[in-house]
Chains A and B, each alone.
Chain A
Amino acid sequence: MLKVENVRKAYGEVTVLDGVDLAIAPGEVVSILGSSGSGKSTLIRCINGLERLNAGRITVDDFDVSKPKELAEARKRSGTVFQLFNLYPHMSVLKNITLAPIEVLKTARPEAEAIARKLLESVGLADRADAYPAQLSGGQRQRVGICRALAMQPRYLLLDEVTSALDPEMTAEVLAILAKLAAQGTTMLFVTHEIEFAREISDRIVFLDKGRLVVDLPTDRFFAADGGRAQPRVAQFLSRMRKD
């Protein structure tokens, strides 16, 4: 279980997260929607321990990310895919993927490489293992980013606007992979602007507005007129995002 309890995060005077509660059970796909600046990415950064909480608690399988001794365990259980890929530019694709398994999980190199190659094959990049990030397209880089996260065999996959820096064609490449992962039962927390896609793959959708979690509903209820749409902010957001 990944639990976010009454989390508050502020940068100086600006409150970015204001008492957020959220729980994700293994096997669930939860999408987080919300306008820019609503705190979606900050929430992900809090869960993987990149930001210190001002109040509240986040636990990943009961490991508290605010406790330095438990953070390492918590981080082993979650894998993050970043908006701007954040690959290591001086390492080949294969090394990008195997670094953490070898260093953190102490997996033997041949085994780590075998896993990496299998992952690359599953995202259609089997032949790019020795390429460097600069030689790849954005979509390919993000697919490597996904492999890098999956190589740690995380129980929870955190996806932070993973298609926001990609053009529509590359977005489709990446979303196809995410759909496959969702179908395989991967637990995902999916921060996105791709509403239609979120609707297809999510079990639940939560909506953040100005740092507050205003809606947390099963996907079909979220889009229902008497469900999520009953919230004026959600209705306004959906109507702006969809061009219908």
Chain B
Amino acid sequence: MRFSDFTSYDLILLAQGLGTNIALFLVTSLIGLLIGLSWALVRFYRVPVLAQIVTFLSELLKNSPVLVQLFLVFFGLPALLHIRVTPVTAATITLSANTAAFVYVIAVSAIEAIEREQVEAARVFGLTRWQVLRHIVAPQAAAFAVGPLVALMVNQLQVTSLISVIGVVDLTKIGHILNMRTLKPFVVWTAVGLLYYGAAKLVALLGERLETRLRAHSAWRGL
């Protein structure tokens, strides 16, 4: 193997890698958010059996390493079911499910943080469970949850780097390739690290704006 110096094309490679991470992050966050919130709804409506299953699933997902889950989906499922699972599919399934588990936990604790008395008051005035959810629970729970959710998103963005292990050409994988070619690990990993940092900071900033917006229209600083 011949080692060569950096070229300007490497910047495009890095950008492509980052793009892969961000795309995967956006897709899995959206899916995870939808699944996690629907699990929280199952719990809110106390759907029998399903509520227990959901709690168990989320426990399972958040108490085992994402890397192990990724291996299970990428290597385990094909072996068991004799199907083909591409690296991108495996990454999407695993990260979505992992995000869902944490979204569920955050949503449930945000809902539980709302005083039961308010909900009772609304019920006494004849609001249905759906109306209570829409007007009393959801707006307050959203304000409670947005901080932890943003923290989760920042973390999940970085977790996407794990997919390089199963062969998805993401920013970390590009880092490996450049490192092998140039043998300048300090420069390569600093650059890669800074790119992750920049992306994470962007997510955090957007989250902060959302948070101020969610809380701005209300003067209830008591929370």
Contacts and interface: CB of A to CB of B under 8 A. Distances in A.
Nearest to B221: A134
Contacts of B54: none
A223 B122 CA distance: 37
Contact of B120 (A79, A86, A135): A86
Contact of B118 (A76, A86, A134): A86
B117 A86 contact: yes
A134 B126 CA distance: 24
A103 B118 contact: no
B125 A148 contact: yes
B127 A99 contact: yes
Given A82-B121, A88-B118, A90-B143, A72 B223 contact: no
A153 B118 CA distance: 20
A108 interface: no
Contacts of A84: 117
Contact residue range for chain B?
20 to 34
Contact of B123 (A50, A82, A88, A148): A50
Contacts, number: 71
Interface stretch (B38-46, B104-112, B133-141): B133-141
A163 B40 CA distance: 37
A232 to B, nearest CB: 36
A72 B136 contact: no
Interface in A66-121: 72, 75-76, 79-80, 82, 84, 86-90, 99-100, 103-104
B220 interface: yes
Contacts of B115: 86
B140 A89 contact: yes
Contacts of A86: 115, 117-118, 120-121
A162 interface: no
A119 to B, nearest CB: 14
A103 B131 contact: yes
B220 A133 contact: yes
A123 to B, nearest CB: 18
A188 to B, nearest CB: 16
Given A89-B223, A90-B220, A135-B219, A100 B117 contact: no
A90 B117 contact: no
Interface string B127-160: 1000100011001100100000000000000000
Given A89-B140, A90-B140, A132-B218, A104 B126 contact: yes
29 contacts: A49-B124, A50-B120, A75-B124, A79-B125, A82-B117, A82-B121, A84-B117, A86-B118, A86-B120, A87-B118, A88-B118, A88-B121, A89-B140, A89-B220, A89-B223, A90-B140, A90-B220, A99-B127, A100-B122, A103-B127, A103-B131, A104-B127, A131-B219, A132-B218, A132-B219, A133-B220, A134-B220, A134-B221, A148-B125
Q: Give the 10 A-B residue pairs with the shortest CB-CB distance, closest first.
A: A100-B125, A86-B121, A104-B126, A86-B117, A132-B219, A89-B220, A134-B222, A75-B126, A48-B124, A80-B124
Interface of A: 48-50, 72, 75-76, 79-80, 82, 84, 86-90, 99-100, 103-104, 131-135, 148-149, 152
Given A75-B123, A103-B131, A131-B219, 7 more contacts: A49-B123, A72-B126, A80-B121, A86-B121, A87-B121, A89-B218, A90-B139
